[in-house]
């Protein structure tokens, strides 16, 4: 993979499209084990990311990601705002000074993002949060030097689906205790849409 400013911008645009298309679905998931606002939160946040990007002339991939992080932190709201903000901010820092993202750089970005989001939300793998998707993808990138678009999308989908059988022990869903089992985590689903968008850009 070789993602320049143009591809990173396209990634965020695709992510926004996927999230807008699945806004109702994300809402439905959050109605089951939360307060039903995840679709609204993510749709608002990613639309703002795209709106802001449109008038900018970015000098580097790190700048694109940093701008996205700032927007997500301020516009998403809810628990997921600062968490996604952290994910993108950590990725931007790890991408600093790079003219484009290759597999190794992207893997490092995922490592930093996972470290940061775990710290921020005090969540580990298996607690039925978006961490489950990001950590799984980080491992997947670490273990596979050559990834095709379909592999990325498929792995992310599996990671999302795995949250269905988990019991939530962090965030609002944890109030549902055992009753959280049997539902896909909303944040894991929005994370899947972000990786699906990445796959689309990697696939060209």
Which residues are within 8 A (CB) of 54 and not within 5 positions of it... i.e. 6 or more apart?
none
Question: Is residue 37 part of the contact set for Mg ion (CB under 5 A)?
Answer: yes
Question: Is residue 34 part of the contact set for Mg ion (CB under 5 A)?
Answer: yes
CA angle in degrees (0–180, nearest 5) for 138-143-148: 85
Residue placing its CB nearer to ligand ADP in the complex, 62 or 187: 187
Question: Is residue 30 part of the contact set for Mg ion (CB under 5 A)?
Answer: yes
Q: How far is CA 21 from the centre of its chain?
A: 16
Mask 71-110, x = binds Mg ion (CB under 5 A)?
-------x--------------------------------
Distance CA 119, CA 109 (A): 15
Residue placing its CB nearer to Mg ion in the complex, 2 or 35: 35
Distance CA 41, CA 51 (A): 16
Could you tell me how many helices (H) and strands (E) the chain has, helices first?
9, 0
Distance CA 107, CA 77 (A): 28
Candidate ranges 5-13, 49-57, 147-155, 179-187; the one touching ligand ADP (CB under 6 A): 179-187
Q: Which of ligand ADP, Mg ion, none sits in contact with 45, Cβ below 5 to 8 A by type?
A: none
Question: Is residue 24 part of the contact set for ligand ADP (CB under 6 A)?
Answer: no
Residue position matching structure tokens 């940061």: 116
Q: Where does this chain bind ligand ADP (CB under 6 A)?
A: 30, 34-35, 37-38, 41, 78-80, 83, 121-123, 129-131, 170-173, 185-188
């Amino acid at each position: 993979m070789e993602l320049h400013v143009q591809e990173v911008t396209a990634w965020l645009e695709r992510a926004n499209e996927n999230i807008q298309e699945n806004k109702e679905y994300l809402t439905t998931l959050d109605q089951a084990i939360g307060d039903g606002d995840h679709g609204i939160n993510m749709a608002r946040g990613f639309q703002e990311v795209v709106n802001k990007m449109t008038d900018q002339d970015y000098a580097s991939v790190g700048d694109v990601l940093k701008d996205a992080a700032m927007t997500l932190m301020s516009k998403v709201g809810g628990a997921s705002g600062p968490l996604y903000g952290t994910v993108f901010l950590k990725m931007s820092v790890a991408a600093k000074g790079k003219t484009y993202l290759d597999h190794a750089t992207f893997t490092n970005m995922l490592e930093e993002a996972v470290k940061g989001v775990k710290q921020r939300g005090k969540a580990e793998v298996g607690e039925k949060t978006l961490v489950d998707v990001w950590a799984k993808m980080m491992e997947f990138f670490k273990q596979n030097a050559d990834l095709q678009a379909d592999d990325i999308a498929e792995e992310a989908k599996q990671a999302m689906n795995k949250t269905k059988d988990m019991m939530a022990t962090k965030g609002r869903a944890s109030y549902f205790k055992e009753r959280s089992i049997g539902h896909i985590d909303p944040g894991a689903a929005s994370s899947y849409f972000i990786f699906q968008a990445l796959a689309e850009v990697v696939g060209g």
